[in-house]
Amino acid sequence: MRRFLLICCLLPLYCCSQSENRIHTLLDELDRLVESDQEYIQLKEQRIQQLQTVLVAAGKKEELYSIHQQISQEFETYNCDSAITHSRAAMLIASELKKSQWLNESRIQLARCEARAGLFINTLNRLQAIDRSELSPSQKALLYAAYIDAYIYWLEYQTGYDTGELQKKKEQYQDSLLKILPTSTYEYAIRKGFRLIETGKLDSAEHLLKVELVRVTVDSKERAGVTSILSFLYNLRGDLQKEKENLAVSAISDIKSAIKENISLRALSIILFQEGDMKRADRYIKKSLDDANFYNARLRNIQASKILPIIDKAYQKDKEKQQAAQRNLLIAVSILSVILFVSIILILRQIRALRIAQVEILSVNNKLTALNGALQAAGERQKLTNINLAEANHIKEKFIGQFLEICTEHIDRLELFKLMVNRKLKAGLTNELMQMTSATSQDAARELKTLYASFDIAFLNIYPDFVESFNKLLRPDQQYDINDSRSLNQELRVFALLRLGIADSNKIATFLHYSLRTIYNYRSKVKSKAIDPDENFEERVKEIGSFSRETIIKQDLES
C-alpha cells in the first residue's frame, strides 16, 4: 500500500518532468524552423510553379478551370491575393462554360478566400447568391463550411462588439454541416470537436480529436488544425503545459506545410511573453507578422500588429536589463581582473623570493653535501686509522706476550745457570766455569735459531695465513711450499718483518744477522717472482691479514 501511495505521489512529478522536456524539445525545433523555413517555402513554390507551368500549356477551358482551382487551393493558406485571383479566374471560366456546378464550386472557393481576407459582406453575399438546390452533397458541405469560416473570422474581427447574432448563425451552420458530413472524415472530426468544446463537452472533444490526431499525417496542415483546436481545449481547462505543447506542434506543422495564414505561432508567443521568455516571444510574433504580411490578410495583420508593440517593447526592456546586467557583470569582471592582476604580481614576487630562497637552500645543501662528503672521507680515514691502530695493538699484544714468554724462559735459564755456577764455585770447579762461559759460534748459531723459531711462531700466530696469502701474489711456479712446522725461510722472514712495519733494510739486516746487500738481494729476488712486480708489491704485502672494517666495528661494539 505504501508503494502504491508513493507511486501515486511521484507519478505526477514524473509526468510533469516529461512534459517539460517535450516542450523544450518542441521549442528548440520551432526555433530552428523559424530561422530556416525557406526549405519548406521553396517546396511550396515549386508545387505552385509546376501548376502554373501546366496552366500555361493547357489549351481547353475545362483544363484551365481545374488548374485555377488547384492553384487557388494551394494559395488559400499561403497568399490570399493570389488565391482570390485564381478563384475569380476559375469562376469566370465556369460562367463562360455555363456549368452551374463548377460555378457554384468556384464561388464557394472564392468566398472562402474572401472570408480569410476579411471581406465578410462580400463573402456572405456571394454565398447567399448560390442556389442550394443545385448543389451536390459535397458542395453543400463546402457551402456550410464556408459560412462557418466566414462567421468565425468575423467573430475574431468583431471582438468587443455584440456578436450574439453572428455566433448564433455560426452554430446553426455547424449543426447543419455535421448532419451531412461522413463521421469518418477529418472535416467531421475538427468541426465536431470544435462544437463539443463550445458546448462544454471537453472530454468528448478531447477523445475525438486525439483519435483523429493519430490518423492525420505528421507535419501536415491537418495535424496543424487538430493540434490548434486541442490547444484551445486545454486553454479552457487551464492546462498551460498541454496548451503550449499543442501550439508548438501546430506551429511546427504550419511552417513545414508552408502555411502563412496561421494563429498558433502568435498564440504561443503570447504565452511565452507572459512567462517571461521575451526573446522567443519577440522572435515568434515577428515571424507571425511577417507571415501575415506575406499572406496579406487584414485580420491576421491587425491581430499580429496589436501584439507586436507590446512584446517588442517588453523585449527591448528585457534586453536593456540584460545589457545593464552585462555592464554590471563587465564592471565586476574588470574589478576582479584588477584584483587578479595584483594577485598575480604578488604571487610572482613570492615565486621569485621562493626561487631565491630555493637557490640559497640549494647552495647550503651543496655545502652540507660537501661537508658530509668530507666528514665521510674523514670517517673513512678514521676507520682506516682505527684498523691500523687495532692491527698494531694486536701485533703489540701478540709480541708482548711472546716477548714475556721468551724473557721468562731466559730468566729461568739464567736462574738455572746461576745455581749451577754457584755450585761449581763452591766446589772449586773454576776451570769448568771458564770452559762453560767461553762463547762459540755454535752457541751463537743455536741462540739465533732459537730466536728465529720464536719469531716465526709469534708471527704465524698473528698471521696464520701469511704464507698462503703471500703465495697469491707470486706466480704459480714461484710459490713457496706450505709446511706444518710453523716456520719461515729467510726470504719469507724478510717480508714478515716488512709486514710488521719494519721497512728499513738496515734494521732487517741487523735483526737477521745478514749483510745489507743480502737483504736487498732477497727483496729483489722475491719481487721478480711476483705476478705484478711493481712498486706496489711491498704495499700489498703490508696489507696481508689486515683487519676488516667489520672486525673493527665488532670490536668497537664489544668495547
Other CB atoms within 10 Å distance of the CB of residue 430: 10
At residue 484, the pLDDT reads 61
In the block, residue with C-alpha cell 604580481: 345
Residue type, 309: P
Between CA 490 and CA 209 the distance in angstroms is 134
H/E stretch holding 508: helix 505-512
Q: Which position has the grid cell 711476483?
A: 530
pLDDT at position 355 is 87
Flag whether 64 is in a domain.
Answer: no
Judge whether 116 lies within some domain: no
Give the model's pLDDT for residue 89. Answer: 95
> Would 506 be classed as within a structural domain?
yes
Per-residue pLDDT, 549: 46
DSSP-derived letter for residue 547 is P
Compute the distance between CA of residue 512 and CA of residue 496 in angstroms, rounded to an integer: 12
C-alpha closest to that of 459 among 489, 481, 434: 489
Whether 494 is covered by a domain: the verdict is: yes
Closest CA to 450 of 406, 493, 417: 406
CA–CA separation, 56 and 367 (whole Å): 105
Between CA 377 and CA 394 the distance in angstroms is 25
Q: Of 500, 525, 505, which Cα lies nearest the Cα of 515?
A: 505
Cα–Cα dist 328/338, whole Å: 15
Instruction: Name the packing angle between helices 278-295 and 298-427 (round to 10°).
Output: 150
CA dihedral 194, 247, 44, 293 (to 10 degrees): 90
Q: At what angle do helices 221-237 and 202-215 cross, to 10 degrees?
A: 160
| Per-residue pLDDT at 391 | 62
How many independent structural domains does the chain possess?
Answer: 1
pLDDT at position 552 = 46
Spatial contact of 387 and 552, defined as CB atoms under 8 Å apart = yes
Cβ-based neighbours of 116, under 8 Å, separated by 6 or more: 76, 80, 83, 149, 153, 261, 297, 299
Could you read off the pLDDT tens digit of each residue along the chain, which spans 559 residues? 666 666 655 555 445 556 788 999 999 999 999 998 999 999 999 999 999 999 998 888 999 999 999 999 999 999 999 999 999 999 999 999 999 999 999 999 999 999 888 888 999 999 999 999 989 999 999 999 999 999 988 887 776 566 788 889 999 999 999 999 999 999 999 999 999 999 999 999 999 999 999 999 988 999 999 999 999 999 999 999 999 999 999 999 999 999 988 889 989 998 998 898 888 988 998 898 888 888 886 666 666 566 656 666 656 766 676 677 778 888 888 899 889 988 899 898 889 888 898 888 888 888 888 888 888 887 777 777 666 666 656 665 565 556 556 666 767 777 787 787 788 788 877 777 777 666 555 666 777 787 788 887 888 787 888 888 888 888 888 888 876 667 888 888 888 888 888 888 888 888 888 888 988 888 888 888 888 877 678 888 888 876 544 454 455 455 5
The two most distant CA atoms of the chain are separated, in Å, by 201
Q: Pull the grid cell for residue 310.
A: 507590446
Distance separating alpha carbons of residues 197 and 206, to the nearest angstrom: 9
- Whether 503 maps to a domain, the answer reads yes
Is residue 102 in some structural domain?
no
Instruction: Give the domain extent around 475.
Output: 440-558
In a domain, 392, yes or no: no
- What is the 3-state secondary structure of 266-309? HHHHHHHHHHCCHHHHHHHHHHHHHHHHHHCCHHHHHHHHHHHH
Structural contact between residues 311 and 282, judged by C-beta atoms closer than 8 angstroms: yes
Give domain status of residue 488, yes or no.
yes
